[in-house]
Amino acid sequence: MRLLILGTGTMAGLQVQRGWGQIDGVELVGAVDVDLNNLQAFCSKYGVGRSFASLDAALAWGEFDAVSNVTPDALHHPTTLAALAAGKHVFCEKPLATDYAHAMEMTEAAEKAGLINMVNLTYRNVAELHKAREIVRSGQIGEVKHIEASYLQHWVSLRDWSDPGIAGPWLWRLSRDHGSNGTLGDIGIHILDFTTYGADVELTAMNCRLQTFSKVPGDRLGDYVLDANDSFIISAEFSNGAIGVIHSSRWASGHANDQRLRVYGDKGGLELSHGHWGSLLRICAGGDVQSSTWREVTAEPVPTNYQRFADAVHSGIQGEPDFRHAAALQQVLDLALVADLDRHEHRV
């Protein structure tokens, strides 16, 4: 697969280090960025042969099979549509788009053209998440009844936001005008996917509250209005009638980056924790139900999203997570904003 890297920021480098650079048969043939310094540094660091100042210029050249779209969120939509129109497969960073309508337009364009389309929901690389889903689908814990999921970070509570040197690189994530949809947009999509994929359920109804806490007097630093949400809480109903809570905060002192999923069915339960420290999957089912004994479950490594995309392009068979799935998640995020405003439950 001849791959074009579109956008050469931090995440693009991580993609090469964690993914593309390690996969046989993947060739980084070109890179695109409007920031020429970034572009040159990226190309020389990773040995990329061709560089372009725009996607159009790269498409005019055309000698690549697929695009990894690592542009800012708001640019995912126009650039992905342009790549698809030129017949290129697309691997897009999350979130797929900034709203459901855009995400669906991208989904339909990709499906109609018969092109491979995948979204980089990075926690799909966690083997224990796949194992949890496998256990649920096997029926080992029975019909799912109750779910608790959380994604806790502490980076907002840790920082002194009145110190510009410290605040600098993080500020855009606190400001809606600078493209942030806050915690909901940043990590909400991850925990929604973690929950629905791991428990093998879809959201059918939800209520959501968002909250933004004051960080500096006046809630403003320079031209950054600090108005993006810091926390959200979702009360959800799922496709099989189960109910649950999904919540997140970047004020959770003591948790650098921790996701937790607890799923209880009518025959057993499973609990999955994942953080920088690793992952832990435990199950209580079968003969252990009466004694409430929990046992750790080990999981075989799974192919990364990068590997799955390369495989999909190679075989021509679409891989997961695809655009359609990401669009469905985007629909939930859009509804969360509405529910927070009107304080009502909404059906998805």
Interaction of residue 184 with other proteins, rule CB under 8 A: no
Determine the Cα–Cα distance for residues 326 and 94; give it in Å rounded to an integer: 8
Locus of tokens 């693009």: 12
Question: What character string, x for contact with other proteins (CB under 8 A) and - otherwise, covers 25-64?
Answer: ----------------------------------------
Q: Which stretch binds other proteins (CB under 8 A): 9-17, 128-136, 231-239, 306-314?
A: 231-239
- Identify which range of 99-107, 118-126, 261-269, 314-322 contacts other proteins by CB under 8 A: 261-269
Q: Does 251 contact other proteins by CB under 8 A?
A: yes
Length of the chain: 348
Yes or no: say if 71 and 10 are a contact pair by the CB < 8 Å rule.
no
When asked if residue 209 is in the footprint of other proteins (CB under 8 A), the reply is: yes
Query: Does 344 participate in binding other proteins (rule CB under 8 A)?
Result: yes
CB of 205 to other proteins, least distance (A): 8
Contact assessment for residue 260 and residue 149, using Cβ atoms and an 8 Å cutoff: yes
Binding mask 276-315 for other proteins (x = CB under 8 A): --------xx--xxxxxxx---------------------
Q: How far is the CB of 345 from other proteins (least distance, A)?
A: 4
Say whether residue 232 binds other proteins (CB under 8 A). Answer: yes
Q: Three-class SS of residue 277?
A: coil
Rank residues 210 and 313 by Cβ distance to other proteins and give the closer one.
Answer: 210
CB of 214 to other proteins, least distance (A): 9
Among 7, 198, 244, 321, binds other proteins (CB under 8 A): 244
Strand-pairing partners, residue 281, are 272
Q: Compute the C-alpha angle 192/66/196, nearest 5°.
A: 10
- Output the DSSP codes for 151-188: EEE-HHHHS-TT-HHHHGGGGGGG-GGGT--HHIIIII
Amino acid present at 231:
S
φ/ψ region of 252 (left if φ > 0, alpha if ψ in -120 to 50, else beta) reads beta
Q: Which of 166, 243, 338, 341 touches other proteins (CB under 8 A)? A: 243
Stretch that binds other proteins, among 20-28, 62-70, 171-179, 208-216 (CB under 8 A): 208-216
In the bound complex, what is the minimum distance in angstroms from residue 46's beta carbon to other proteins? Answer: 32
- Binding other proteins (rule: CB under 8 A), the pick from 66, 203, 252, 326 is 252
Closest by Cα among 89, 149, 102 to 322: 89
Confirm or reject binding of residue 207 to other proteins (CB under 8 A): yes
Please report whether residue 247 would count as binding other proteins according to CB under 8 A: yes
**3-class SS at 229?**
coil
Q: In the bound complex, what is the minimum distance in angstroms from residue 181's beta carbon to other proteins?
A: 17
Q: Judged by CB under 8 A, how many residues of this single chain contact other proteins?
A: 55
Residue 264 interacts with other proteins (CB under 8 A)? Answer: yes
Question: What CA–CA distances, in Å, run from 172 to 24, 95, 151, 260, 276?
Answer: 36, 16, 20, 27, 23
Distance of CA 61 to the CA centre of its chain: 31
Site for other proteins in 122-181 (CB under 8 A): 141, 145-146, 148, 150, 152, 154, 157-158
Q: Is 348 in the site for other proteins (CB under 8 A)?
A: no
Contact 162, 216 (CB under 8 A): yes
Please compute, for residue 264, the number of CA atoms within 13 A of its CA located in the half-sphere on the CB side: 10
272, 283, 275: which is closest to 258 by C-alpha? 275
| 255 interacts with other proteins by CB under 8 A | yes
Peptide bond into 78 cis (omega under 30): no
Of 240, 130, 258, 248, nearest in space to 192 by CA: 248
CA distance 198 to 126: 11
Tell me which residues touch other proteins (CB under 8 A).
141, 145-146, 148, 150, 152, 154, 157-158, 207-209, 211, 213, 230-237, 241-245, 247, 249, 251-256, 262, 264-269, 271, 284-285, 288-294, 343-345
